[in-house]
C-alpha cells in the first residue's frame, strides 16, 4: 500500500516549509507527491531553491492520498485563487484526512472555507484573516484540531512535522 501525501508547490513557496516536511515524510515511510498548477514544472522558492512538480493539481484526487500539505511563502496567495486547489482542499477536509498548513499556508484553507470553528495558528501576518474566517486563533508552535495541523513559521518545523506524522499515523491505525 502506498502511503502518499500531497504537497502543494508554486513560485515563491517558502523553501524550508516544503522541503523539510518532504524529507521527514520520506524518512517516515510516506511517499511525498509534489503538485503544482503545471505537471513537470520547476518552481522557485522564495530563496531560490527549485522544486519539481510530479503532478498537476487539477489531476489530483484526495482519495489517492493520506493528507495534504499547504506550505507558506507567497505561493498560497496565488494558489488560493485556483478553484481546483480549493476543491481539492475541501475534499481532504470532508474526508477528514490530514490538512496541514504552515505560515501563510492557511490562506488556502481560508479560501476553501474549511477553518470555521477549527483551532488554528499561522503567521502572525494572517492572524486577522484566520479570525475573520471563523478560526479559533492560538499562538503556538503547532496546533492540532482533529485532522487539521497548523504551525507558525520555519522555526516550528520540528514540532509541525512531528504533529503531521502523529495525525497520519492515527488515520492509518
Check residue 1 and give its pLDDT. Answer: 53
CATH topology of domain 4-172: Rossmann fold (3.40.50)
State the sign of the Cα–Cα–Cα–Cα dihedral 54, 63, 90, 136: negative
In tens, the pLDDT along 17-66 reads 999 999 999 999 999 999 999 999 999 999 999 999 999 999 999 999 99
Q: Report DSSP state, residue 38.
A: S
> Can you give the residue ranges of every domain in the chain?
4-172
Exactly one of 104, 138, 147, 173 is catalytic; name it: 104
pLDDT band at 173 (very low <50, low <70, confident <90, very high): low
pLDDT surpasses 80 at 172: no
| Cβ-based neighbours of 147, under 8 Å, separated by 6 or more | 67, 92, 93, 96, 97, 98, 99, 167, 171
The model's pTM:
0.97
52 is catalytic: no
pLDDT band at 170 (very low <50, low <70, confident <90, very high): confident
pLDDT surpasses 80 at 127: yes
- The whole-chain average pLDDT of the chain stands at 97
CA 51 to chain centre: 15
* Contact between residue 45 and residue 77 where contact means Cβ atoms under 8 Å apart: no
Amino acid at each position: 500500500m502506498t502511503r502518499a501525501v500531497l504537497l502543494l508547490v508554486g513560485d515563491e513557496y517558502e523553501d524550508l516549509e516544503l522541503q523539510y516536511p518532504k524529507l521527514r515524510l520520506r524518512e517516515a515511510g510516506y511517499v511525498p507527491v509534489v503538485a503544482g498548477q503545471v505537471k513537470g514544472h520547476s518552481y522557485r522558492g522564495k530563496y531560490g531553491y527549485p522544486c519539481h512538480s510530479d503532478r498537476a493539481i487539477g489531476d489530483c484526487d484526495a482519495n489517492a492520498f493520506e493528507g495534504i500539505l499547504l506550505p507558506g511563502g507567497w505561493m498560497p496567495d496565488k494558489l488560493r485563487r485556483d478553484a481546483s486547489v480549493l476543491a481539492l482542499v475541501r475534499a481532504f477536509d470532508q474526508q477528514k484526512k490530514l490538512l496541514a498548513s504552515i505560515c501563510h499556508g492557511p490562506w488556502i484553507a481560508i479560501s476553501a472555507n474549511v477553518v470555521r470553528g477549527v483551532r488554528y495558528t499561522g503567521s502572525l501576518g494572517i492572524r486577522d484573516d484566520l479570525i475573520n474566517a471563523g478560526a479559533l486563533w492560538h499562538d503556538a508552535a503547532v496546533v492540532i484540531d482533529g485532522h487539521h495541523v497548523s504551525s507558525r513559521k520555519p522555526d516550528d518545523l520540528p514540532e509541525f512535522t512531528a504533529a503531521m506524522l502523529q495525525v497520519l499515523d492515527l488515520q492509518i491505525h
